[in-house]
């Protein structure tokens, strides 16, 4: 990317969609420092740094910590980059799985809402039925197959 200018932090923050406070923090930890400081001590960033800021923001949004991003910038060799990207792909795959599950849940809830919205409330009746036992799970023979009643264990 050609360098078409230098921006004060306020414009760079707007163009990069990263807050001024976050840019100050990035500078403090050495992740993204301004290319220059004016006599007034203002921070100035180049247009080339917009791409870097965009990559940092995208990596962070994909679950990578600032420590990992800084390490990636400092140790930019193919093996390390490949390892970090593999971890991020696994993280993204997990997020996709979570979101797919959440989407299915929302679709089921939406279907339930649609099915309930067509009910004629005047046609609903309440009917009392005799009590009935319900067993959840597989039956268990407490008498070891001897047709005995279930044994009750007492506490001492």
pLDDT digits (tens, 9 = 90+) for 32-50: 999 999 888 899 999 999 9
The reported pTM is 0.56
pLDDT, mean of residues 144-154 = 55
Q: Dig out the tokens for 27 from the structure.
A: 């500078």
Residues 6+ positions from 94 with CB-CB distance below 8 Å? none
Q: How far apart are the first and last CA of the chain?
A: 80
User: Which residue would you say has higher pLDDT here, 36 or 140?
Assistant: 36
Domain that holds residue 55: 1-64
97-124 exposure pattern, b = at least 16 Cβ within 10 A, e = fewer:
eeeeeeeeeeeeeeeeeeeeeeeeeeee
**Statement to judge: residues 49 and 1 lie in one domain:** yes
**Statement to judge: residues 3 and 55 lie in one domain:** yes
H/E stretch holding 90: helix 78-117
């Amino acid at each position: 990317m050609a360098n078409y200018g230098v921006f004060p932090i306020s414009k760079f923050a707007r163009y990069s969609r990263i807050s001024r406070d976050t840019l100050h923090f990035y500078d403090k930890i050495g992740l993204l420092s301004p290319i220059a400081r004016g006599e007034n001590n203002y921070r100035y960033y180049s247009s080339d740094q917009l791409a870097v800021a965009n990559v940092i923001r995208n990596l962070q949004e994909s679950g990578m910590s600032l420590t990992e991003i800084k390490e990636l910038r400092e140790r930019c060799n193919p093996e390390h980059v490949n390892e970090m990207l593999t971890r991020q792909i696994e993280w993204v795959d997990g997020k996709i799985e979570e979101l797919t599950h959440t989407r299915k849940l929302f679709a089921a809830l939406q279907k339930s809402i649609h099915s309930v919205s067509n009910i004629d409330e005047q046609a609903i009746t309440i009917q009392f039925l005799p009590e009935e036992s319900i067993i959840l799970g597989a039956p268990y023979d407490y008498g070891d197959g001897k047709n005995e009643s279930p044994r009750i264990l007492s506490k001492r």
